[in-house]
């Protein structure tokens, strides 16, 4: 059973919060949780307020531990509720998507979305514990699995050339006997990065943002939903690898390798929204990594090494989006 060992480890005063896709899968295991509608649209101020009210109605106090059972949406929302309810109560992450297991449950960034932007309100609020069972991934759709694999691919590209080589030769397209090891390896990478730069101050944590300047812009331009986060990261990593080559920072040949690596994981590296150049650039101007001028990118210098680059001028980005990338796409 996926939660053997986890249920018993939860504190006696726990309040489980999950979504209505996850709840029916394990209704027998977790009694009387708070259940909210699944989907990114729940990561909002209204749902935040409703959860605070429900926590109070259930009599949750400072000794109550909130348990976020679900994907990154539940993790981010419950973490933010925990950071505020009664000026902060403990919480535990029990991530059930690949994306949440390798990425969002680790590192203590919690947030909700606003009409003005994604993750625009939030906190650094680490969980007491993260309990991961990769057995939960068996019920995940193929698309959601692929979505999470984009972040796994990213860890290889930014910090772990051995992982990248391993996955290039034998891509991770479904749950198999390697899944536990790969998830653990990704969690360790993220944990080590966060330990050295918890509050995103020295550029190291920003390396986790490879592909994300363009990915977030694609998500925004397409209206959050049609292109899942990991799908957008796949496209973003290819385009940002090209950008690195254009700037003379990335070893020539890397972008082509990156494209093949991503495509072997059945993720796309191109999308029609790339043609919405003005909208994309406008979205990139609001990237949280930006400094006084130009746009910031966390790029790779070669497979396994990354570098934060600020002040990239818009003409270069425009050239990337309108023509340069086409040179890298072969049939
Ligand atoms: N805090 C961070 O550091 C961080 C990092 C990356 C992403 N995020 C956030 O994570 C969110 C995306 O997370 P996600 O991709 O997990 O999305 P999600 O939470 O919406 O989950 C995706 C879908 O899978 C369903 N689901 C969850 N577990 C399942 C299971 N075991 N079997 C079947 N279905 C299951 C969910 O109900 C949902 O419909 C975004 O809001 C993003 O901003 C946060
Ligand atoms: Zn991401």
- Is this prediction's pTM over 0.85? yes
Tell how far the Cα of 233 is from the centroid of ligand 2, in angstroms: 7
Rounded CA-CA distance 8/133 in Å is 14
Which residues does residue 124 pair with via DSSP β-bridges, in sequence order?
109
From 99, 135, 150, 199, give the residue whose CB has the most ligand 1 atoms within 8 Å, as the site to mutate: 99
Q: C-alpha distances in angstroms, 219 versus 14, 87, 96, 137, 280?
A: 35, 32, 22, 24, 10
Report d(CA 140, CA 148) in Å as an integer.
Answer: 10
Burial class from Cβ neighbours inside 10 Å (0-12, 13-18, 19+) for residue 86 reads middle
Which own/partner contact pairs does 39-43 have at CB distance under 8 Å and 24+ positions apart?
39/73, 40/73, 40/113, 40/224, 40/225, 42/73, 42/77, 43/73, 43/76, 43/77, 43/111, 43/112, 43/113
What's the confidence (pLDDT) of residue 149?
A: 98
> Can you give the pLDDT of all 331 residues of the chain as single tens digits?
788 889 999 999 999 999 999 999 999 999 899 999 999 999 999 999 999 999 999 999 999 999 999 999 999 999 999 999 999 999 999 999 999 999 999 999 999 998 877 888 999 999 999 999 999 999 999 999 999 999 999 999 999 999 999 999 999 999 999 999 999 999 999 999 999 999 999 889 999 999 999 999 999 999 888 999 999 999 999 999 999 999 999 999 999 999 999 999 999 999 999 999 999 999 999 888 888 889 999 999 999 999 999 999 999 999 999 999 999 997 5
Pocket of ligand 1 (CB under 6 A): 19, 21-22, 25, 38-40, 43, 70-74, 76, 96-97, 99-100, 103-104, 107, 109, 119, 136, 139-140, 144, 147, 229
Q: Which ligand is nearest to the CA of 23?
A: 1
Q: Give the residue from 173, 162, 279 showing the smallest Cα distance to 216.
A: 279
The answer to whether 119 and 216 have CB atoms below 8 angstroms apart is: no
pLDDT at 331: 53
Helix (H) or strand (E) holding 301: strand 295-302
Report residue 45 as tokens.
Answer: 């101020």
User: What does 151-168 look like in DSSP terms, one character per residue?
Assistant: HHHHHHHHH-HHHHHHHH
pLDDT value, residue 175:
95
């Amino acid at each position: 059973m996926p939660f053997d060992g986890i249920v018993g480890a939860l504190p006696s005063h726990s309040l489980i919060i999950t979504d209505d896709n996850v709840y029916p899968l394990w209704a027998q295991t977790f009694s009387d949780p708070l259940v909210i509608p699944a989907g990114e649209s729940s990561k909002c101020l209204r749902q935040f307020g409703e959860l605070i009210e429900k926590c109070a109605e259930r009599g949750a106090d400072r000794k109550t531990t909130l348990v976020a059972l679900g994907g990154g949406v539940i993790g981010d929302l419950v973490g933010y509720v925990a950071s505020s309810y009664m000026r902060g109560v403990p919480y535990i992450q029990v991530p059930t998507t690949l994306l949440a297991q390798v990425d969002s449950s680790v590192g203590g960034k919690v947030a909700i979305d606003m009409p003005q932007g994604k993750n625009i309100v939030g906190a650094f609020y680490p969980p007491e514990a993260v309990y991961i069972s990769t057995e939960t991934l068996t019920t995940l759709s193929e698309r959601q699995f692929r979505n999470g694999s984009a972040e796994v691919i990213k860890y290889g590209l930014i910090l772990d050339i051995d992982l990248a080589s391993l996955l290039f030769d034998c891509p991770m397209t479904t749950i198999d006997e390697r899944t536990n090891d790969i998830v653990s390896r990704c969690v360790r990478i993220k944990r080590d990065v966060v330990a050295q730069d918890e509050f995103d101050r020295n550029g190291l944590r920003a390396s986790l943002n490879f592909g994300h300047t363009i990915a977030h812009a694609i998500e925004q331009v397409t209206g959050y939903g049609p292109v899942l986060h990991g799908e957008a990261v796949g496209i973003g990593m290819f385009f940002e690898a090209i950008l690195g080559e254009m700037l003379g920072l990335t070893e020539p040949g890397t972008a082509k390798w990156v494209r093949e690596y991503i495509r072997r994981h059945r993720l796309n590296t191109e999308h029609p929204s790339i043609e919405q150049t003005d909208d994309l650039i406008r979205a990139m101007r609001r990237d949280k990594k930006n400094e006084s001028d130009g746009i910031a990118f966390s790029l790779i210098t070669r497979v396994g090494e990354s570098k934060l680059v600020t002040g990239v001028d818009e003409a270069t980005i425009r050239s990337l989006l309108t023509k340069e990338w086409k040179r890298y796409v072969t049939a």
